[in-house]
């Protein structure tokens, strides 16, 4: 039986945060999906958390060692946000499990019951790394009691990258720099690694496997532009490292974005979206 290990980063928030309602739904749907797959896939669900967040992690999650640093230890920002480095999260998952495949999703991404079974079927069809784009459902669904109704909604497709599946064997070659979650461009940093390191990558844009409640784009607040710039800089560094290893060859869209960094192209945001939207569609 194949083994999958899936990690998220739970965080304690007050009622003003959209995570206040989203996280309980994520937790419960992960438990349901794990149980649904019990006879077909060995699924472990893990948490990477700060010490102050341990108490709110459900007991059915396996806790990894508490994180000790954040992006605030790396750089200075106008508004302080204790955002974890994605490397610190994935390092913990890699260290505590020997699972064949690893999954990282944002903590506000809920799963359909058949998620893990479908992931295994995708792997067995020949894809060794892939990203599954979420679907967006109306914000009026907020309580765990409404999860059956949430499952029933097809929702609308969304182009954001927030669910990453890859083989454990590739992780030692990842280049994540000091990119932080919770800020724009982190999905591009992760997808660049998957594209450059895998043999058969796929971006699934229209599968009904994950969903998100509402589409507020809290990460896109102009107050946090310096976090955006931080991750953009890391993305440029990651692309440069892969270019040095000649891993961009045969990946013209990713290589084209690297060339814009090298030549001082200023229209990063518009070009970035255009390039990654062109990656192989489902």
- The rounded average pLDDT for each run of 10 residues, N- to C-terminus, in the chain (282 residues) is 96 92 97 97 98 97 98 96 98 98 97 98 97 93 94 89 97 98 93 94 94 74 87 91 85 65 55 51 44
Task: Identify whether 188 is part of a domain.
Answer: no
Do the Cβ atoms of 141 and 215 come closer than 8 Å?
no
pLDDT of residue 218: 57
Q: What is the CATH number of the domain that holds 149?
A: 3.90.550.10
Q: How many domains does the chain have?
A: 1
- For the question of whether the overall pTM of this predicted structure is more than 0.75, the answer is yes
Q: Is residue 267 one of the residues assigned to a domain?
A: no
Q: At what angle do helices 252-262 and 268-277 cross, to 10 degrees?
A: 170
Backbone φ and ψ for 43, nearest 5 degrees, come out as -110, 130
The answer to the question of residue 251 being in a domain is no
Distance in angstroms (rounded) separating the CA atoms of residues 83 and 164: 19
Residue 43: which of 111, 102, 122 has the closest Cα? Answer: 102
d(CA 184, CA 187): 7
The total of other beta-carbon atoms located within 10 Å of residue 128's CB is: 18
pLDDT at 164: 98
- The CA distance from 194 to 233, in Å, is 19
pLDDT for the residue numbered 265: 52
Is residue 187 assigned to a domain?
Answer: no
Q: Is residue 227 part of a domain?
A: no
- Domain encompassing residue 51: 3-181+199-218
pLDDT for residue 222: 72
Longest C-alpha distance within the chain, in Å?
53
* Gyration radius from the chain CA atoms: 18
Instruction: State residue 263's pLDDT score.
Output: 61
Quickly count: other Cβ atoms within 10 Å of residue 193's Cβ.
Answer: 24
What is the pLDDT at residue 223? 81
């Amino acid at each position: 039986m194949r083994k999958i290990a899936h990690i998220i980063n739970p965080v304690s928030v007050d009622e003003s945060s959209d995570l206040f309602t989203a996280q309980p739904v994520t937790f419960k749907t992960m438990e349901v999906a794990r149980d649904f797959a019990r006879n077909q896939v060995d699924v472990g669900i893990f948490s990477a958390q700060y010490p102050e967040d341990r108490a709110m992690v459900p007991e059915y999650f396996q806790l990894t060692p508490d994180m000790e640093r954040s992006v605030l230890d790396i750089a200075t920002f106008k508004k302080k946000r204790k955002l974890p480095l994605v490397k610190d999260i994935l390092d913990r998952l890699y260290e505590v499990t020997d699972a064949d495949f690893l999954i990282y999703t944002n903590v506000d991404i809920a799963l359909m019951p058949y998620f893990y079974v479908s992931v295994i079927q995708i792997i067995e069809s020949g894809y060794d790394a892939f990203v599954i784009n979420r679907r967006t459902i109306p914000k009026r669904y907020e309580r765990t009691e409404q999860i059956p109704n949430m499952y029933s909604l097809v929702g609308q497709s969304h182009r954001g990258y927030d669910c990453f599946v890859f083989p454990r064997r590739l992780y030692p070659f990842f280049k994540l720099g000091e990119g932080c979650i919770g800020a724009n461009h982190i999905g591009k940093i992760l997808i660049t690694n998957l594209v450059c390191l895998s043999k058969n990558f796929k971006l699934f844009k229209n599968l009904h496997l994950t969903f998100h409640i509402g589409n507020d784009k809290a990460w896109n607040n102009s107050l946090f532009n310096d976090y955006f710039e931080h991750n953009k800089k890391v993305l440029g560094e990651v692309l440069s490292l892969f270019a040095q290893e000649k891993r961009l060859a045969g990946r013209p869209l990713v290589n084209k974005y690297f060339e814009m960094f090298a030549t001082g192209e200023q229209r990063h945001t518009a070009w970035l979206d255009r390039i990654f939207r062109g990656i192989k569609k489902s």
